[in-house]
Chain A
Amino acid sequence: MHKRATLVGCLFTASVALGVEVNGAGSSAIAPLIQAWAKEYYKETGIKVNYQAVGSGSGIRMVSQRMVDFGASDAPLKPKQLKRKNLLQFPVASFGVVFAYNLPNVEGLKLSTRAVCGIFSGKVKYWDDPVIAEANPEKKLPHIPILVAVRADKSGTTYTVTSYLVKACKGELHFRKPSKKPRWGLRNLVAAKGNAGVAAVIQKKFGTIGYVEYTYAVKGGLKVVILQNRDGNYIKPSLETFQSVLKNVHWGKGFYADLTYQSGSNTWPIVGATWALLPLERKERNKLVTDFFKWGFSKGDEKAKELYYAPLPKDVKEKIEAMWSNYIYNY
């Protein structure tokens, strides 16, 4: 055992001397975090981690074809798919998606689940609709049409929002399954590219409501909706309310989990996460990858919060590290 450790240690130092690089690709949602971690990690260890934000779908394809050391996807692969592609999967961090809106003189708008479903099914067309007014008795809502801003490109953010909507609205919507780009079936729709594009549309147009990752709402200074969660409470989005999901949720095989619309009194209903994917048979390369994520888990929480990602709770991290030692370290 000891011998092996020294051997690994030797390989390790040798790889540093050779300027070893680790390559990853996939989700653009997690890219800022992985790149920030990689910068610090390089300073400490001299190992370079390159991450290309090519999109989750491409990330899965690239790691399946063994073109990169790890992939990252905003939707977890099912255990069956993992087995077929011989991949190992674990979550890296999670993020919240919020509704942002543009209504002059209306601060702290509250939306009930019923109101959200009404808007996204096309039944609620004006801002002063009784369904919206009900939760906002003290506010003066204007009689202007609601414009819904969505993502034009296929995206993990949309997947997260639609899986929340599908569960919360049950059959009211025009689409039945969560999707990276559903057929919304709405007439009052504006589609824009990327989180930044949607944020720009919301900023520019009165009467717009749209969904963006929390970071973009904060950075863009957008007004965010106080949303009713599964327990019926109205919640303000924050890292604590995103993290609350991670503590309660059931992590299945291959860390498969559904994070949207979970119960909990202080739980934000629209939470997504990014999962890393590793080729199971590449033991030595995997060690380099897991070392990086181990570093990120132990030292990267502050950086994650700075970038508005919710770090994983301690017990989840421990479970992930236990899985690594099962599959990767004991060979």
Chain B
Amino acid sequence: MTQDPSQLKGKSLPPPRETSGAEALKALVTGFATTLKHLGRRPITEQYPEEKRELPARSRARIILTRDPDGAERCVACYLCSAVCPVSCISMQSIEGQGGRRMAAWFRINFGRCIYCGLCEEACPTSAIQLTPDYEHCQRAILKSVYEKEDLLVDHCGKDPDYNFYRHAGVATEGLDKGRHEKEAPPVNVRSNMP
């Protein structure tokens, strides 16, 4: 006789419902009928290499680095994706690029380790790193699974067609000085007493 765990806590659960013989028989018959019916149905198996399924745009597979609408690299090498990556498959080095922009000197994803969890995409503040539905990139040589920046970088905006981080950031970069970003007032003239 197994001990009812609910009694250990001093609380009693409702007693298990007794099943009558007729009910049990009905359940059995329903079960066998169901499986028997299945025999007549057409199998739903998709035969992978011959039939390839179109995955939804938001499916999580191969990772890309997108560009902003102006064609510049979106990645600012902020290290958030590598920090959040549960398997530590992302590594990078940030440097100061042209015009004072922070960018990745190198950016590496080891797809041999990647578990396609999508946390990097969620963490990315600039919509740079995105997962795509392209799931067919198995490699026989392990080093071929190590993608460098040039392998990851694409020439489009991915799923976020409009966002350009540097138009919002508020840091002065080449061609976009202080006070000219979205929702910014012109720089304060500290030598003036006028409010």
Are A and B co-members of a single complex? no
Chain B interfacial positions (CB closer than 8 Å to A): none
Chain A interfacial positions (CB closer than 8 Å to B): none
